[in-house]
């Protein structure tokens, strides 16, 4: 059986969509008690427990954490898919036993439970925990660093989501990106960084077969306030995973599957066709920023002599325990170098935005229609929940 066949019918279906907060994962933790040791490594600034799952008895110690940014839940879903895979008794049993003998994996699936609850990047004090690695002013940062010091990992996995704007050179969206964070300003290939690069190379190879042109490399600007950079500085190989957009998949259910395959490759459940080296890492294309959620082209606007394009981006708004995609005018101009996940041609029409002629950046969009034929709708907010 291929691992993709297992995933199709057995992924952790109790976690879906983008809004994942502590109450969603708590009942799942209870079900993993046999194989996993579950502990509380600290509490958030608002007093919520930060849980850690430990599995395996091997010498290679791995520390993984997700939802350090509360609104970045895709890798959390993929972690639970992976836990469920390890916990089943039907397929891949020799491989799972070998994994449990080789590795001890510590996973913090929701490092920022307050941010997860509020659906914010930051924690409850509006601090970005991924800029708090130097000062460690927040209890969530201290919990992670205490665990790091206690377990002395050989490898760290820093799990995030990236926005829909990221693109790759062949004009495709960056569905998954990796980074071996820099350990100094010069971005030298230190010993630890080299190991991280070596481990990324096979994941890139496997994912590129599944989603050609949609796997990239994240920006490696050094910042010693970032957790990954900090752990890399400490000499522990660290890999940043960025779960991104897959066409049409704002819920990121496809992307979670690719992140699961990345974990499966990293831990030896997917065979890699050819041997790779750290040098292959440099062949991974770098992320660009050329995507908008929607672009409406060939628009005639009051106050503009030339035809223009309008871009719309979705803001993710938490409403009634669901995430609503709120369309907002992002840019007005030529936009020739950008691509829309959705492209609309207004065919040189004059338009009305929410029944008015004036269009402003930052404006929320309800409808965009033809000024002289208002039943001709170019765009309508469908109030999509993800
Ligand atoms: Zn993040």
Handedness of CA 29, 32, 38, 41 (dihedral sign): negative
Mean pLDDT of the chain: 96
- CA 344 / ligand 1 centre spacing (Å): 30
- CA 268 / ligand 1 centre spacing (Å): 26
- CA 68 / ligand 1 centre spacing (Å): 7
DSSP letters spanning 312-328: EEEEEEEETTEEEEEEE
Residue 259: pLDDT band with limits 50, 70, 90: very high
- CA 319 / ligand 1 centre spacing (Å): 22
Average pLDDT, stretch 171-193?
95
Is residue 1 predicted with pLDDT exceeding 80?
no
Percent of the chain's residues with pLDDT above 70: 100
DSSP letters spanning 251-313: T-HHHHHHHHHHHHHHTTSS--SS---GGGGGGSPBPB--EEEEEEEEEE-TT-SS-EEEEEE
pLDDT digits (tens, 9 = 90+) for 70-114: 999 999 999 999 999 999 999 999 999 999 999 999 999 999 999
* Structural contact between residues 126 and 137, judged by C-beta atoms closer than 8 angstroms: no
CA distances (Å), 111 to each of 107, 122, 344, 372, in order?
10, 11, 40, 53
Minimum mean pLDDT range among 145-154, 276-285, 298-307: 298-307
- CA 178 / ligand 1 centre spacing (Å): 12
**pLDDT for the residue 108:** 98
Give helix 93-102 / helix 74-87 axis angle, nearest 10°: 110
Burial code (b: 16+ CB inside 10 Å, e: under 16) for 276-291 equals bebebbeebbbbeebb
Q: How many CA atoms lie within 13 Å of 299's alpha carbon, on the beta-carbon side?
A: 31
Residue 382: pLDDT band with limits 50, 70, 90: confident
Q: How many CA atoms lie within 13 Å of 217's alpha carbon, on the beta-carbon side?
A: 17
- CA 223 / ligand 1 centre spacing (Å): 14
pLDDT digits (tens, 9 = 90+) for 210-243: 999 999 999 899 999 999 999 999 999 999 999 9
- CA 140 / ligand 1 centre spacing (Å): 15
- CA 130 / ligand 1 centre spacing (Å): 7
Hey, what are 329's tokens? 């005018």
Residue 371: pLDDT band with limits 50, 70, 90: very high
Q: How many CA atoms lie within 13 Å of 289's alpha carbon, on the beta-carbon side?
A: 4
Is residue 356 predicted with pLDDT exceeding 80?
yes
Average pLDDT, stretch 343-355?
96
**pLDDT for the residue 6:** 97
- CA 282 / ligand 1 centre spacing (Å): 22
Is residue 33 predicted with pLDDT exceeding 80?
no
Cβ-proximal residues to 22 (8 Å cutoff; 6+ apart), any chain: 48, 49, 110, 113, 116, 117
Contacts 24+ apart (CB under 8 A), 262-266: 262/78, 262/176, 262/203, 262/206, 262/207, 263/78, 263/79, 263/82, 264/3, 264/82, 264/85, 265/202, 265/203, 265/206, 265/207, 266/199, 266/202, 266/203
Residue 61 DSSP code:
E
Element (H, E) at 24: helix 22-30
Longest dimension (CA), the chain: 71
- CA 304 / ligand 1 centre spacing (Å): 38
**pLDDT for the residue 172:** 94
Is residue 303 predicted with pLDDT exceeding 90?
no
* Structural contact between residues 312 and 292, judged by C-beta atoms closer than 8 angstroms: yes
Average pLDDT, stretch 20-35?
90
- CA 265 / ligand 1 centre spacing (Å): 22
Is residue 384 predicted with pLDDT exceeding 80?
yes
Average pLDDT, stretch 266-290?
96
Is residue 32 predicted with pLDDT exceeding 90?
no
Is residue 34 predicted with pLDDT exceeding 90?
no
* pTM of the predicted protein model: 0.97
């Amino acid at each position: 059986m291929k691992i993709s066949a297992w995933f199709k019918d057995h992924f952790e279906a109790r976690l879906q969509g983008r809004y994942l907060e502590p109450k969603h994962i708590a009942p799942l933790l209870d079900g993993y008690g046999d194989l996993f040791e579950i502990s509380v490594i600290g509490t958030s600034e608002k007093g919520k427990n930060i849980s850690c799952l430990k599995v395996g008895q091997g010498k290679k110690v791995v520390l993984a954490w997700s939802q350090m940014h509360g609104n970045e839940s895709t890798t959390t879903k993929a972690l639970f898919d992976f836990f469920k895979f390890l916990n089943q008794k039907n397929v891949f049993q020799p491989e799972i036993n070998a994994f449990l003998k080789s590795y001890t994996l510590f996973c913090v699936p929701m490092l920022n439970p307050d941010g997860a609850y509020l659906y914010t990047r930051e924690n409850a004090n509006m601090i970005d925990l991924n800029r708090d690695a130097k000062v460690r002013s927040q209890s969530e940062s201290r919990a992670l660093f205490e665990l790091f010091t206690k377990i002395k990992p050989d490898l760290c996995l820093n799990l995030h989501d990236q926005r829909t704007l990221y693109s790759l050179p062949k004009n495709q969206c960056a569905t998954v990106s990796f980074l071996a964070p820099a350990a100094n300003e010069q971005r030298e290939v230190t010993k630890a960084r080299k190991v991280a690069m070596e481990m990324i190379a096979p994941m890139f190879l496997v994912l590129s077969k599944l989603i050609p042109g949609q796997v990239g490399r994240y920006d490696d600007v050094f910042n010693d306030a970032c957790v990954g950079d900090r752990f890399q500085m400490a000499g522990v190989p660290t890999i940043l995973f960025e779960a991104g957009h897959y066409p049409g998949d704002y819920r990121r259910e496809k992307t979670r599957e690719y992140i699961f395959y990345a974990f499966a490759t990293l831990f030896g459940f997917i065979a890699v066709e050819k041997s790779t080296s750290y040098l292959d890492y440099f062949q991974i294309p770098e992320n660009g920023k050329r995507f908008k959620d929607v672009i409406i082209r060939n628009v005639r606007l009051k106050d503009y002599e030339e035809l223009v394009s309008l871009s719309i981006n979705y803001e993710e708004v938490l409403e009634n325990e669901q995430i609503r995609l709120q369309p907002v005018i992002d840019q007005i101009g030529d936009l020739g170098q950008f691509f829309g996940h959705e492209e609309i041609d207004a065919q040189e029409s004059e338009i009305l935005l929410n029944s008015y002629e004036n269009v402003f950046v930052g404006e929320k969009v309800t409808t965009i229609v033809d000024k002289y034929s208002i039943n001709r709708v170019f765009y309508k907010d469908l109030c999509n929940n993800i």
